[in-house]
Amino acid sequence: MSSVVVSNYAGSLDIAAIRAAFPILSTTVNGKPLVYLDNGATTQKPQRVIDTINEYYTRHNSNIHRGVHFLSQYATDAYEVTRKKIQRFINAKHDHEIIFTKGTTDGINLLAYSFGKSSIQPGDEILISAMEHHSNIVPWQIMCEDRGAVLRVIPMNEKGELIMEEFYKLLNSKTKMVAITYISNSLGTVNPVKEIIDAAHQKGAKVMLDAAQAIHHIAVDVQKLEVDFLVFSSHKMYGPTGVGILYGKEELLNAMPPYQGGGDMIKTVTFEKTTYNELPFKFEAGTPNIEAGICLGAAVDFIESIGIDHIAAYEEYLLNYATEQIKQIQGVRIIGEAAHKSGVLSFVIDGTHPYDVGVLLDKMGIAVRTGHHCTEPVMNFFKVPGTIRASFAIYNTKEEVDALIAGLKKAVMMLL
Ligand code: PMP
């Protein structure tokens, strides 16, 4: 896979050079070259991220924000550089609007708890959508139960697109939060988030975008979107696991109580009364995942070295090519045929179980995900037990799509 010809791709990315930056891509699985198409679950890591982890533990390991000594200050600076890089990457107004979390799930739990406590009264409504990841369902269910609020769901159509007329009907003055995925992890649908944000704001509701599947595929500009909160995970954007980001508008974060208590989030502590630290530290209790925070900065550098718009264009080409090619396989039903999609091709094949297809592909070195993708309501809606999901990243190639198609043809022959 070293010299990759990308026919029909009008851009000028050197995909072979990009692939060379990912050591894992030259490994073999079951004696076959690895074809990694499970990027929706997590992306592989470029050498510069791996090197940064190594360098941190070899030369800079220390706890942050507290020490006066050289190593502590070095680690603190490196960690805070990532905050600034993320601020720039998503175009936030202030760096203290960038809260480090453990990941998307952690960010949504923080928000649901803290916003729920400060802003939700019995009878208030939270709007989510029919295509949410469990991470963007369950924390709101827990919060609604706690606060006596009502969870409402924007339905979708057979193509996997939100039914916007229904959204407008559901949105009302009791709606306090619209928490919605930017891009669906099981369907690939890109939702009309700007329209949703503008409509929600007109009714006085806040909006949280789950950008777990968007942040590494398309440009995200929080000021342009005017979104109130945004969450994502480092590990899906070429960075390490165990760290993620909650962005929130300063005035909204200031109005929310802390989620967890402990070190770093306090100003002063006595047994009688504790005063809380300022943003962002109010929401960052305890020693964070320092190494991952620093390395997330290296992941942002990687993305910016290519350019998010180039990434979006190339991945769109790959998805279109894969979508076209998969139709050759008899009995394929694509799950998720929205007009605007990114990153994900989900499908089922008549007479086969997704799990069996996944196991056979694995024998050929092809990694796809099978199952409900943490979106059981989506599977129930489409009346399937699960799907086979190929999800793309910048290092995938047309040849890998061809390998997937050939592998699927073989699998189908063996199973039917
Ligand atoms: N939301 C979406 C849309 C996702 O794709 C994922 C991960 N599959 C999550 C939330 C949860 O992310 P994490 O497990 O990194 O917290």
Q: What is the pLDDT of residues 346-386, one digit of tens each?
A: 999 999 999 999 999 999 999 999 999 999 999 999 999 99
213 lines ligand 1 (CB under 6 A): yes
List beta partners, residue 231.
Answer: 210, 246
> Ligand 1: which of 39, 100, 105, 392 to mutate, most ligand atoms within 8 Å of CB?
105
> Ligand 1: which of 39, 101, 104 to mutate, most ligand atoms within 8 Å of CB?
104
* Range 115-126 average pLDDT: 98
| Confidence label for 8 from pLDDT (cuts 50, 70 and 90) | low
- For 39-75, give one letter per residue: b (16+ CB within 10 A) or e: bbebbbbbeebbebbebbeeebebebbeeeeeebebb
Q: Which atom of ligand 1 is nearest to the CA of 135?
A: 10
What is the pLDDT at residue 270? 95
Single out the residue of 256, 240, 346, 252 nearest to residue 299, CA to CA: 240
* Residue 220 Cα to ligand 1 middle (Å): 17
Cα–Cα distance between 99 and 77 in angstroms, integer? 16
- Its pTM surpasses 0.75: yes
> Ligand 1: which of 131, 193, 213, 342 to mutate, most ligand atoms within 8 Å of CB?
213
Distances (CA, A) of 199 to 31, 89, 171, 229: 53, 26, 8, 16
What is the pLDDT at residue 223? 98
What is the pLDDT at residue 9? 78
* Residue 68 Cα to ligand 1 middle (Å): 37
Q: Please give the backbone phi and psi of residue 280, each rounded to the nearest 5 degrees, phi first.
A: -85, -5
> DSSP readout, 4-59?
---TT--S---HHHHHHT-GGGG-EETTEE-EE-BTTT-----HHHHHHHHHIIII
- For 266-303, give one letter per residue: b (16+ CB within 10 A) or e: beeeeeeeeebbebbbbbbbeebbbbbbbbbbbbbbbb
CB atoms within 10 A of CB 156: 24
- Sequence spans of domains, the chain: 15-45+308-415, 50-304
* Residue 106 Cα to ligand 1 middle (Å): 10
Which run of H or E residues covers position 72? helix 70-90
Query: What share of the chain in percent tops pLDDT 70?
Result: 98
Handedness of CA 3, 6, 12, 18 (dihedral sign): negative
* Range 84-103 average pLDDT: 98
Fold of 15-45+308-415: Aspartate Aminotransferase, domain 1 (3.90.1150)
374 is a catalytic site residue: yes
Q: Which residues contact 237 (CB under 8 A, 6 or more apart)?
A: 43, 215, 216, 296, 299, 300, 303
**Does the pLDDT at position 5 exceed 60?**
no
To the question of domain 50-304 being in CATH 3.30.50.10, the answer is no
What is the pLDDT at residue 171? 98
**Does the pLDDT at position 91 exceed 50?**
yes
**Does the pLDDT at position 295 exceed 80?**
yes
**Catalytic residue (choose from 219, 329, 374, 384):** 374
What is the pLDDT at residue 1? 34
| Confidence label for 391 from pLDDT (cuts 50, 70 and 90) | very high
* Residue 348 Cα to ligand 1 middle (Å): 22
Across 193-265, the runs of DSSP E, i.e. the strands, are 206-210, 229-233, 244-248
* Residue 268 Cα to ligand 1 middle (Å): 35
- The answer to whether 264 and 8 have CB atoms below 8 angstroms apart is no
Cα–Cα distance between 179 and 208 in angstroms, integer? 5
Cα–Cα distance between 311 and 11 in angstroms, integer? 10
